[in-house]
Amino acid sequence: MSYKVGIVGATGAVGQELISLLVDRGFPFSEIRLFASSRSAGKTLEVAGNSYVVEEAKAEVFEGLDVAIFSASSSISRELGPEAAKRGCVVIDNSSAFRMDEDVPLIIPEINPDAAATHKGIIANPNCTTAVALMGLSPLHTEFGLKRVFASTYQAVSGSGMGGIRELQAQVEDYVAGKTEFETETYPHQIVFNVLPHVDSFLDSGYTTEEMKMQNEGRKILGLPDLRVSCTCVRVPVFRAHSVSIQAEFERPVSVDRAREVIAAFPGVELCDEPLANKYPMPADYSGKVECGVGRIRIDTAFDNGLSLWAVGDQLWKGAALNAVQIAELLHERNYWAFNR
């Protein structure tokens, strides 16, 4: 069986990765249509050697499509996602618009694939750092029973889309040219040779919306409504792939050897944990890689029953485009297309 596929936000960083992944992974599409804002409509993009004109994303364009993968703003998803579903098109959404909607499953295929069967036309993709962190935490939760988490993220500029990538590139070039002051647009401060303890907007609590996603989305995906997470999200001058430092407390006695075993056996994860040989996951090694890397696994010295670990994953792939394509593959493999409109 083959499918008619639409991509909303096709001209963006994640949209470009979606196109490549659909082709490279052999997703069975018979037709592909590319959508974007009116500003980008009319551009030509290449898919598998063929040229396609980008169309403006409007409600009527979803008529006749089987699946649409959205990689646009939350406002666009909220406006057009229900319109697509109303027309019988399954929506896989990369934005935060529907993640916490109780009627919308939030899916990481390796962790909670069965939840996809309950969709009502819209399936949400998790936040990028949530996805990377949970790929390391999920097998440990199954083995030991996750109780609470402290985390610090090291997030690449790819998380800010093409704007973040261009800004870091421009500032690197300015630095090489001898400049000491840098133009900023995407970030409030220079990102080159700097770290910003600020990702997304601040809440009254002092946390950012990005930091709260780790707790709220983690609770939903793992089915742990009482999971407690304290997170600090940091933007770093890395082009691609996010890293997360994790300290986790568990219900049952932990073992480093057993933790390594369950991590190594978990689909979509690569154990990279030989610190004495300087082998541990790094963004440079996990950019453009399907698997997330997990290493630096050790007994936590602050928790009575805890583990510390380090997880790395490609923000544009497992944190966004790859996970969305894997959801489409899951729907295909299990025939989860039907839903109540």
For CATH 3.30.360.10, the residue range(s) in the chain are 129-314
Give me the chain's average pLDDT, please: 96
Q: What is the mean pLDDT of residues 288-312?
A: 97
128 is annotated as an active-site residue: yes
Q: Does domain 3-126+320-334 correspond to CATH entry 3.40.50.720?
A: yes
* pLDDT tens digits along 78-90: 999 999 999 999 9
- Residue 339, pLDDT score: 81
Closest CA to 12 of 139, 110, 120, 158: 158
What is the CATH number assigned to the segment(s) 129-314? 3.30.360.10
Beta strand spans in the chain (E): 3-8, 29-36, 44-47, 50-53, 55-56, 67-70, 90-93, 122-124, 146-155, 228-235, 242-250, 269-271, 292-299, 306-313
Structure tokens at 12: 């963006």
d(CA 62, CA 8): 10
Closest CA to 68 of 106, 120, 122, 14: 122
- Residue 340, pLDDT score: 62
Percentage, residues of the chain above pLDDT 70: 99
Model confidence band, residue 55 (pLDDT cutoffs 50, 70, 90): very high
CB 91 within 8 A of CB 311: no
d(CA 168, CA 311): 23
On the question of pLDDT at 142 being above 70, the answer is yes
Q: What is the mean pLDDT of residues 255-262?
A: 98
Give 308's strand partners.
247, 298
Of 89, 119, 231, 242, the active-site residue reads 242
* pLDDT tens digits along 182-198: 999 999 999 999 999 99
- Residue 7, pLDDT score: 98
Percentage, residues of the chain above pLDDT 90: 95
On the question of pLDDT at 1 being above 90, the answer is no
For CATH 3.40.50.720, the residue range(s) in the chain are 3-126+320-334
Of 89, 128, 231, 233, the active-site residue reads 128
